[in-house]
Amino acid sequence: MNGFRNERLRKRAEQALNSGGFEGAEVSATTLKEVLHELYVHQAELEIQNEELRTAQQALEASRIQYLQLFQSVPLACFTINAAGIICEANVAAERQFGLPLRRLKGRPLTLMVESLDHGRLFTALARLRDSGQWTRQEYAFVGAHSAIDGLTDARVIELEAGPDGVDKGDVLLTITDVTERNAWVGELQNARDEAERTRAAYHHILQAVADGICGLDARGAVTFVNAAAQSMTGFGASELVGRSFTALIGGDAEEESRRALTLSLADGLVRQVSNGRLRRQGAVDFVAELTVSPILQNGAITGAVVAFRDVTARRAAEQALAESERRHRTLVQSLSEGLVMRSVDGTVMVANAMAERLMTGPTGVLLDPCAHPLESRKPGDRTGRAARRRFIGADGARLTGLPPAAKAVDSGKPVVEQIVGIAEGDEAAAPTRWLRVSSHPVPGADGRPEAVVSSVTDISAIKSMERDLNVALDAKERFMAAASHDLRQPAQALTLLSGLLLKEPIPEDARRIATQLRDTVASLGGLLDCLLDISKLEAGLVTPHSAPVEVGTIMERLHGEFRAVAASSGLALRTVPVRLGVCTDGGLLERVLRNLLTNAIRYTRQGRVLFGARRRNGALRFEVWDTGIGIPENQLDRIFQDFYQIGNAARDRREGLGMGLSIARRLVHMLGGTIEVTSTSGKGSCFAVTLPQAAILDQRHCGDSPDDSAARIGEADGDASVLLVEDDAVIRMALALMLDGWGYRVTEAGSVAEALELVDGALMPDLVLTDYRLPDGDTGLMLMDTLRRRFGPDLPGVLLTGDTSSERLREAAGAQCALLHKPIQPDDLRRTVRASLEHRDVETETT
Residue 327: inside a domain:
no
Three-state secondary structure call for residue 162: coil
548 and 695 in a single domain? The answer is yes
341: pLDDT confidence band, cut at 50, 70 and 90? confident
Q: Residue 449: phi, psi to the nearest 5?
A: -90, 145
439: pLDDT confidence band, cut at 50, 70 and 90? confident
726 and 822 in a single domain? The answer is yes
Q: Is 50 exceeded by the pLDDT of residue 701?
A: no
769: pLDDT confidence band, cut at 50, 70 and 90? very high
For the chain, the average pLDDT equals 78
> What's residue 770's pLDDT?
92
271: pLDDT confidence band, cut at 50, 70 and 90? very high
Structural domain boundaries, residue 144:
77-185
> What's residue 509's pLDDT?
83
**From start to end of 312-449, where are the E strands?**
339-344, 349-352, 390-393, 416-425, 433-444
Instruction: Give the lowest-confidence range in 43-47, 439-443, 449-453.
Output: 43-47
> What's residue 215's pLDDT?
92
Higher-pLDDT residue of 829 and 287 is 287
Residue 190: inside a domain:
no
Residue 330: inside a domain:
no
556: pLDDT confidence band, cut at 50, 70 and 90? confident
Q: What is the CATH number of the domain that holds 350?
A: 3.30.450.20
> What's residue 390's pLDDT?
76
Which pairing describes strands 685-692 and 722-726: parallel, antiparallel, or unpaired?
unpaired
- Distances in Å between the Cα of 516 and the Cα atoms of 420, 429, 528, 570, 652 are 57, 59, 18, 21, 20
281 and 219 in a single domain? The answer is yes
Of 580, 575, 577, the closest CA to residue 550 belongs to 580
Specify whether the CB–CB gap between 608 and 664 falls below 8 A: no
Residue 486: inside a domain:
yes
Residue 45: inside a domain:
yes
Tell which of 538, 560, 580 closes a domain.
538
Q: What is d(CA 552, CA 578) in angstroms, rounded to the nearest whole number?
A: 8
236 and 284 in a single domain? The answer is yes
Residue 710: inside a domain:
no
Please give the average per-residue pLDDT across 607-614, as a whole number: 89
Q: Which residues pair with 302 in a beta bridge?
A: 297
Please give the average per-residue pLDDT across 224-231, as a whole number: 90
Q: Is 60 exceeded by the pLDDT of residue 59?
A: yes
331: pLDDT confidence band, cut at 50, 70 and 90? confident
Write the pLDDT tens digit of every residue in 303-324: 999 999 988 888 888 888 888 8
> What's residue 162's pLDDT?
67
Beta-carbon contacts of 177 under 8 Å, excluding residues fewer than 6 positions away, are 76, 77, 151, 152, 153, 154
631 and 565 in a single domain? The answer is yes
Q: What is the CATH number of the domain that holds 550?
A: 3.30.565.10
688 and 563 in a single domain? The answer is yes
Residue 790: inside a domain:
yes
> What's residue 541's pLDDT?
53
550 and 637 in a single domain? The answer is yes
Residue 200: inside a domain:
no
Q: How many C-alpha atoms does 815 have within 13 Å on its Cβ side? A: 9
The Cα angle at residue 833 between residues 829 and 834, in degrees rounded to 5: 120
Q: Is 80 exceeded by the pLDDT of residue 255?
A: no
Tell which of 538, 555, 572 closes a domain.
538
Q: What is d(CA 80, CA 174) in angstroms, rounded to the nearest whole number?
A: 6
Higher-pLDDT residue of 805 and 339 is 339
713: pLDDT confidence band, cut at 50, 70 and 90? very low
Q: Residue 278: phi, psi to the nearest 5?
A: -135, 135
434 and 526 in a single domain? The answer is no
**How many domains, the chain?**
7
82 and 224 in a single domain? The answer is no
491: pLDDT confidence band, cut at 50, 70 and 90? low
Q: What is d(CA 116, CA 107) in angstroms, rounded to the nearest whole number?
A: 19
Q: Is 80 exceeded by the pLDDT of residue 145?
A: yes
> What's residue 499's pLDDT?
65
Q: What is the CATH number of the domain that holds 771?
A: 3.40.50.2300
385: pLDDT confidence band, cut at 50, 70 and 90? very low
72: pLDDT confidence band, cut at 50, 70 and 90? low
Write the pLDDT tens digit of every residue in 393-402: 887 778 888 8
DSSP 695: G
447 and 342 in a single domain? The answer is yes
825 and 745 in a single domain? The answer is yes
Tell which of 73, 90, 117 closes a domain.
73
Three-state secondary structure call for residue 515: helix
589 and 651 in a single domain? The answer is yes
What percent of the chain has pLDDT above 70? 75
Q: What is the CATH number of the domain that holds 530?
A: 1.10.287
